[in-house]
Structure 1
Amino acid sequence: MINYPNDLDLRRLVRFSAEDGTIWLAEHRMVLLHTGALAGLRKELLNSVGLEHARRVLTRMGYESGVRDAELAKKLRAGQSVVDAFVVGPQLHMLEGIVKVTPLAIDMDVKAGRFYGEFQWDNSWEAESHVKEFGPQKDPVCWMLLGYASGYTTTFMGRFILFKETQCVACGDPHCHIVGKPVEEWPDAAQHTVYYEADSIVSRLLELRTQVDALRSSLDQQRQVENLIGSSPPFRRACDLVEKAAKTNVTVLLTGETGVGKERFARALHDMSKRADRPFVAVNCAALPHDLVESELFGVEKGAFTGAHATRAGKFERAEGGTLFLDEIGELPLAAQAKILRVLQEGEIERLGDDQTRKVNVRIVAATNVELQRAVKDGRFRADLYYRLNVYPIEIPPLRERALDIPPLVNAMIEKFNAMHGKRVAGITDKAMKALKAYQWPGNVRELENMIERGIILAPADGWIELEHLFPSLGEAEMRSIGIGEQGILTEARPLEQERLCDAIMGSGMSLDDIESMLLREAVERSDGNLAGAARMLGLTRPQLTYRLKRNQDHAPDKE
């Protein structure tokens, strides 16, 4: 029989946070469920889809849980022996209240791919619940537990390890007993691997649900705007305004904080309009030098100024028939504002250095992150141009007001950067996602995109993006400030410094009396023999210090 290493490192990973209704195992969110509720779900599955399909669903559910725990195990005890690292899984299974696991035999070599394991299970919630609902069984029934063992070991070993339950309490055996080895070493593997495959009934149900959702969506006329990801109410209101504007030629003013995605909204507006097959030209007005603004927007004739060696069309002419997106329009000089007003009113431009007017057919979409009304009052923006642009304003909500949209945005960004960097990550941990939802996002979607790209780069291949990958420059205290707290630890919550101190003391091998004597002597030495000062240093009264010094002296061993 194999002895487990101390599981204190695992217990410290489990935290309860009653204030926000969450439980954490490292960076993954957990839940506490009554076994009666799980038994009820199990019963409903068996009664509705039958034993074979219910077993498949439950096995796959356990397999996924094992995969998550194995990813944690490989990190947690990376510097220890392979067996000590592997038994994190059985220890976690016990800590999670699933079953008592006793390792009987483990023979493993990760590099060579060799594995053989035998384990005894006691107090299996699955066996107890099944017998309670359906009575004694002919065949083993710990399907979720078996799936967990296979998923955990497969992920740990890097090859498919199949476990079989050879004894089960539900069949009248005194214990549940499982054996695991590589799938190709089981002559009857095909009879068991079928339960790890996708369930055809579930797939058909999901397909049917997708069709129903699509029909319901069309009936409700809630078409998702292409390239715009989100379903939160403020985001949907902005998308609805874009859809309505796309059917017209109205000038649109997009407002919102920097990084909210104003250009993406402008492109979506263009793509949904009748101008979609014509050019979309974007101009960042804040990036244009003031002395070149007019030539860039309206074009220039040869010889109009020093350095104008050739006639050149401006942005308005290049966007002919399409859409011109003027980002940060509030940064334009007043002279350029007057000419843009003329384009809006007359639909014509003049190139710099030319006296000929040219008709243009361009839809203007402007954007700004400054308050134009205040700019008008300050004399920095023309009032007549403001009123002309403000015919159809659309305010893009900041990311902090659309927390519901963060998960789909993150998933889309992960897919994008996986392809861009030729690297695959499995996703983002629950704890990291919670931090993203709690963060205030001063840089909005642009900041989120930069953060996810950094996470992709820092996360291990095929691993998970964790909190430290998203906020690599933050310390633990700063991590807590963005919503990931220490509340609810199974033992009394304490600062990290105290935790390290306790580890050092426990690892020293000193007894409690030795530690007390050491502290008393150190306090007296640091106070230069002043007992009153030493007592204050230790938070004691002088009589209390005197008593402890005498007691330690009396108990000290005689030196010969």
Structure 2
Amino acid sequence: MNDLDSLKILDPEDLISGIRFSSEQGKIWFNEQRMLLIHANVMGQLRKELVETLGVQRAKRFLMRFGYHSGLKDAEVARKVRPHITKEEMFMAGPQLHAIRGMVKVVPTKLEIDMESGHFLGEFDWFNSYEADVHQHYFGHAEEPICWSLLGYSSGYTSYFMGQTIIYKETRCAAMGDDCCRIVGKPLDEWEDKAEIEKFMLPDPVAEELFALRNELVRLRDTVGDDSEYDYKIFNSIGQSAAFIKVCKLIKKAANSRATVLLQGETGVGKEVFARGLHVSSDRAENPFVAVNCACIPPELIEAELFGVEKGAYTGASQSREGKFERADGGTIFLDEVIELSPRAQATLLRVLQEGELERVGDTRTRTVDVRVVTATNEDLQQAVQEGRFRADLFYRLNIFPVHIPPLRERKEDIPLLTQYFLERYQTIYNKRILGVTDKSREALLEYQWPGNIRELENLIERGVILTDNNNEIEVCSFFPAFKDSGSAVGRVQQDGSLREEVPADDGDQEAWCERLLTENFSLESLEQSLIRHALKVADGNVSKAARTLGLTRPALAYRMKKLEPS
């Protein structure tokens, strides 16, 4: 067990160095988390409106939970900034972060902490509490302790490190006339009023009341037949952008008709998902949906796969079997990469579309099928017609109801929703609990141009989940290994995952510098080593200061320094 006297309290410089101001971008960063610099008086105004609107108890609950989540976030950062010390010593970053944020000066008076047994008892004095100041400004003398968000912060921060719910209570408060605020923290089970405390840590019932009202509104809308955008949510589709809603509306209209639908769009945009959505929205939903990727079937076998084959039709046809069209009878068939159909298969498909009839390969008997045909391609079929690679009459039959599915770069509002959807999927697959993505990662995902569209996003999320430890957020390097964070320069993630720096218009000197570097004896590793040594020299050996100069986090620089050590 550690007590206050035995714990080593580190210099807060490593925490302060993680704060970077990027005025060009209008952002403040604390490692990979975006921060805000807000007037304390504005927080006081918010507090006043919450009390007047929701009442004291609900305002208290809201602000405690607000602080709780803020404490959790800072605990995550503290663990990353100080990974090589004991958890007990790492815990002491919390009081330092409280002060760095300008919230309160924290003075520990008693601390008993044992990570293995779960024992915790902490007493702290608070000086210059911003919450006490703003409360006095708006409400005057307080009759009870009122540092609600600060209490929540301390509870969230400590709970993260202890792996159990730790609750603090304020026993003295400057807003009540005391010389300072004082808090006491211990596990939830050790408080006599545990049940009452648990109520404060749960979401406010006001949210449930609003949710109930929303559900009632939805029921009323359904009753009067309001045709809103919610009606266009289709099977397994995720999105809220205008481009997405437009496609959903077209699919909904097509589903109620018998027209052949041609889905157009780049590779990876989710054409099969929309095809399934069309099927389940139609009156054929109870019948089969058969998906075929025409590019995956050898040209000599594609007719047999689609339309069936009779025994002995060719070498290897040892038995008769039905094709995809017969299996889809009464339902929908989705032909992806339809441009890959052989000329004979194109002719047979045209007959199916015109007459609803087909013949198996090697058979003379005509079979009737009732199949809704949905096709897709990422090439220009009209151009293929002009080049003689695709039948013009078939193109006109397929192009009755064309739907263009926009690439992901044109519907970036959907990226956060898709990210959350894939996170939930791969957390389940890999049995992990991921807390989301960092603010820097979210920005990088929004900047990236997504040449592989939704499929590429899904692959990146899976990679991020694999590389990220439990109870952590996915950092940008897990998505884009070559990402370079310049700290202040505006950048854009390129297709290879690197960050392209936007240089000033007059970049002649930089080009000349690069030309001088790129001789035949150039070594990128040697250049990196030289830069690190020079930065450390300029910073007088201060690793945090050198890291800030290089635009790196302290752990990132420490890792690179370790590589410089002789093996």
1:145 aligns with 2:156: no
Q: 2:352 matched to which residue of 1?
A: 343
Percent identity, please: 50
Alignment counterpart, residue 35 of structure 1, candidates 31, 40, 55: 40
CA–CA separation in structure 2 for the residues paired with 1:371 and 1:264: 21
Q: 1:552 matched to which residue of 2?
A: none
Alignment counterpart, residue 482 of structure 1, candidates 493, 498, 513: 493
The residue type paired with residue 75 of structure 1 is: K
Structure 2 SS opposite 1:426 = strand
Query: Which has the larger displacement, 113-122 or 306-315?
Result: 113-122
1:248 aligns with 2:257: yes
CA–CA separation in structure 1 for the residues paired with 2:278 and 2:198: 50
Alignment counterpart, residue 295 of structure 2, candidates 275, 286, 289: 286
Q: Does structure 2 retain, via aligned residues, the 8 Å contact 1:77–1:84?
A: no
Alignment counterpart, residue 73 of structure 1, candidates 61, 78, 87: 78
| Per-residue deviation, residues 39-61 of structure 1 (Å, max 9, x unmatched) | 11111111122111111111111
How much does 1:185 deviate?
A: 3.1
CA–CA separation in structure 2 for the residues paired with 1:13 and 1:387: 60
CA–CA separation in structure 2 for the residues paired with 1:318 and 1:359: 12
Runs of 4+ in 1 over 6 A off after TM superposition: 483-487
Q: 2:160 matched to which residue of 1?
A: 155
1:58 aligns with 2:63: yes
How much does 1:262 deviate?
A: 0.2
Q: Does structure 2 retain, via aligned residues, the 8 Å contact 1:10–1:92?
A: yes
How much does 1:75 deviate?
A: 2.3
Matches within 5 A, 1:72-221: 72-212=77-217, 215=220, 219-221=226-228
Largest Rg, 1 or 2: 1
1:436 aligns with 2:441: no
Matches within 5 A, 1:13-32: 13-32=18-37
Q: Does structure 1 retain, via aligned residues, the 8 Å contact 2:448–2:492?
A: no
CA–CA separation in structure 1 for the residues paired with 2:149 and 2:218: 30
Q: Does structure 2 retain, via aligned residues, the 8 Å contact 1:99–1:123?
A: yes
Query: Which has the larger displacement, 215-224 or 21-30?
Result: 215-224
1:9 aligns with 2:14: yes
CA–CA separation in structure 1 for the residues paired with 2:215 and 2:477: 36
Q: 1:516 matched to which residue of 2?
A: none
Alignment counterpart, residue 338 of structure 2, candidates 309, 329, 344: 329
CA–CA separation in structure 1 for the residues paired with 2:477 and 2:533: 20
Alignment counterpart, residue 233 of structure 1, candidates 238, 242, 245: 242
CA–CA separation in structure 2 for the residues paired with 1:355 and 1:83: 82
Query: Structure 1 pair 498/178, CA: closer, same or farther in 2 (3 Å)?
Result: farther
How much does 1:17 deviate?
A: 2.9
Alignment counterpart, residue 426 of structure 1, candidates 423, 431, 435: 435
| Per-residue deviation, residues 173-194 of structure 1 (Å, max 9, x unmatched) | 1211212122333334445443
CA–CA separation in structure 2 for the residues paired with 1:430 and 1:322: 45
TM-score by length of 2: 0.83
Query: Structure 1 pair 313/162, CA: closer, same or farther in 2 (3 Å)?
Result: same
How much does 1:118 deviate?
A: 2.1
Q: 1:353 matched to which residue of 2?
A: 362
Structure 1 SS opposite 2:433 = coil
Q: Does structure 2 retain, via aligned residues, the 8 Å contact 1:76–1:85?
A: no
The residue type paired with residue 109 of structure 1 is: D
CA–CA separation in structure 1 for the residues paired with 2:217 and 2:76: 36
| Per-residue deviation, residues 208-243 of structure 1 (Å, max 9, x unmatched) | 245446656863422122311101111111110000
Query: Which has the larger displacement, 465-474 or 152-161?
Result: 465-474
Query: Structure 1 pair 192/358, CA: closer, same or farther in 2 (3 Å)?
Result: closer
Report the aligned-residue RMSD: 2.5
How much does 1:69 deviate?
A: 1.1
Q: Does structure 2 retain, via aligned residues, the 8 Å contact 1:71–1:156?
A: no
Query: Which has the larger displacement, 262-271 or 355-364?
Result: 355-364
CA–CA separation in structure 1 for the residues paired with 2:56 and 2:74: 27
Query: Which has the larger displacement, 72-81 or 497-506?
Result: 497-506
Query: Structure 1 pair 188/248, CA: closer, same or farther in 2 (3 Å)?
Result: closer
CA–CA separation in structure 1 for the residues paired with 2:351 and 2:192: 83
Q: 2:557 matched to which residue of 1?
A: none
Query: Which has the larger displacement, 475-484 or 391-400?
Result: 475-484
Query: Structure 1 pair 227/375, CA: closer, same or farther in 2 (3 Å)?
Result: same
CA–CA separation in structure 1 for the residues paired with 2:142 and 2:373: 73
Structure 2 SS opposite 1:23 = strand
Q: 1:398 matched to which residue of 2?
A: 407
Query: Which has the larger displacement, 251-260 or 37-46?
Result: 37-46
TM-score by length of 1: 0.84
Matches within 5 A, 1:253-402: 253-402=262-411
CA–CA separation in structure 1 for the residues paired with 2:481 and 2:70: 27
Structure 1 SS opposite 2:239 = coil
* Equivalenced residues, count: 502
Q: 2:52 matched to which residue of 1?
A: 47
